[in-house]
Amino acid sequence: MFKNMSYKNQRKIIIIAFSLIPVILLFTFAYLPVINMFKYSFTNWNGYSPEYKWVGLKNYRTIFTDPKYFTVFKVSLYYFVATFVQMGLALYFATILSFKVRAGNFFKGIIFFPSLLNGVAIGFIFLFFFKPDGTLDTVLQYIGLGSLTQGWLLNPNLINISLAGASLWRYMGFNFIIFLGAISSVGKDVYEASDIDGANKWHQFCHIILPSIKRILQLNLILGISGAISAFDIPYIMTGGSNGSNTFVIQTIDVAFKYNKLGLASAMAVVLLFIVIVVTVIQRLLVKEGE
């Protein structure tokens, strides 16, 4: 049957047959829930009842009029700052390890390792790390900085820095591996040519590496910043959002499952989605202007 079809038609059938299953999966598990989320955001659904009422824009009005829903974005600033530190460190290590270094692969492994760990495990590791007389305090005492030990999570001025530090550790490896991949795609001949021209490593970094990984750098920044806005797993597992470490996503979960306001929580999720889109667009525009 297929033998008699034209090549064009055969190709069409093959393409459809191959993409059907992934598209169905994508639609059922990604787009359908999002569409439903938009729908629920206009209702007062409680999350389990078969009935709900349409309440129009009431949920959105609640979010934008009650300051308690937006003040938590202050916490995101800590993760925002940490994102830049994270990028800087990842870029630094990626650059160094892209040159010939003794035991280079070993260090690459060590830096990438946290990305392979489960977020819950990392949360518990860092709970022990920050405990009074835990790992961090012990190390500080050992190197004679015992006077610096304190309640790393207890101190409300430190807690977000501690948590942002933990999430930096968790996510840096991922940025690092992407940078490393991008850097290693630069041809050896370019370095050789610059060596002949008398460039040192710093010149090479500024004029060869940076320009050739610019796109990847932007991508990582976008991922990092949207990650900072929607910071969730580390603070949720370690503190549950208490002691001033609450983030917008934790709050959304609380509203949905502690207070059975799934409609309001959906509206919060929609708002977050738009904030991330807006921030990404702004970032794109700023970068474009610089070009």
Partner 1 sequence: MKSRKMLLAIMSSLLVIAMVGCSTSNGGNKVSTDPGTATTTGGKDLKGDITVLTQKTDIVDTVFKDYAAKFNEKYPNIKVSFQALSDYEGQIKVRMNSNDYGDVLLLPTSIPLADTPQFFEPLGDFDEMKKQYNGLEERTVDGKVYGIATTINFNGIVYNKQVFEDAGIKEAPRTPEQFLTALKMVKDKGNAIPLYTNYAAGWPLTQWEADLTTVAGNVDYVNVTQPTSDDIFVKGQPHYELYKILFDAAQQGLIEKDPLTTDWESSKADLANGKIATMVLGSWALGQIQSMTTTPDNIGYMPFPTNAEKVIMPLADDYTIGISAKSSNKEAARAWVDWFINDSTYPVTEGGGMSPVVGAELPAALKQFEGTDIEFQFQTAAKAGQEGLVDKIDKDSEIGLWQPDFKKRIIEAAIGNKKETYDDIMNDLNEAWNKSRAAVASE
For residue 54, list its beta bridge partners.
Answer: 43
- Determine the Cα–Cα distance for residues 95 and 163; give it in Å rounded to an integer: 27
Minimum CB distance to partner 1, residue 57 (Å): 17
Q: Which of residues 193-212 bind partner 1 (CB under 8 A)?
A: none
DSSP H or E stretch at residue 274: helix 262-290
Which residues, at least 6 apart from 172, have a Cβ–Cβ distance to it below 8 Å? 86, 89, 90, 111, 114
* Angle value at C-alpha 241, between 239 and 245, nearest 5 degrees: 95
Which CB, 204 or 245, lies closer to partner 1?
A: 245
Among 155, 184, 185, 218, binds partner 1 (CB under 8 A): 155
Minimum CB distance to partner 1, residue 241 (Å): 9
Q: Examine residue 116 and tell whether it contacts partner 1 (CB under 8 A).
A: no
Residue span binding partner 1 (CB under 8 A) among the ranges 139-147, 195-203, 242-250, 265-273? 242-250
Which residues, at least 6 apart from 80, have a Cβ–Cβ distance to it below 8 Å? 225, 228, 229
Among 42, 79, 130, 236, binds partner 1 (CB under 8 A): 130
DSSP assigned state of 29: I
Which CB, 15 or 193, lies closer to partner 1?
A: 15
Q: Which of residues 248-267 bind partner 1 (CB under 8 A)?
A: 254-255, 257-261
139 phi and psi, to 5 degrees? -65, -45
| C-beta atoms surrounding 236 within 10 Å | 20
CA neighbor of 146 nearest in space, from 133, 159, 155: 133
Minimum CB distance to partner 1, residue 113 (Å): 24
Minimum CB distance to partner 1, residue 1 (Å): 8
Minimum CB distance to partner 1, residue 17 (Å): 5
Residue span binding partner 1 (CB under 8 A) among the ranges 34-42, 141-149, 237-245, 281-289? 237-245
CA neighbor of 182 nearest in space, from 283, 94, 116: 94
Q: Which of residues 8-67 bind partner 1 (CB under 8 A)?
A: 13-14, 17-18, 20-21, 47-50
Q: Examine residue 156 and tell whether it contacts partner 1 (CB under 8 A).
A: yes
Q: In the chain, what is the greatest distance between 2 CA atoms, to the nearest angstrom?
A: 83
- Determine the Cα–Cα distance for residues 43 and 45; give it in Å rounded to an integer: 6
Interacting residues with partner 1 (CB under 8 A): 2-3, 13-14, 17-18, 20-21, 47-50, 127, 130-132, 134, 151, 153-156, 159, 239-240, 242-244, 254-255, 257-261
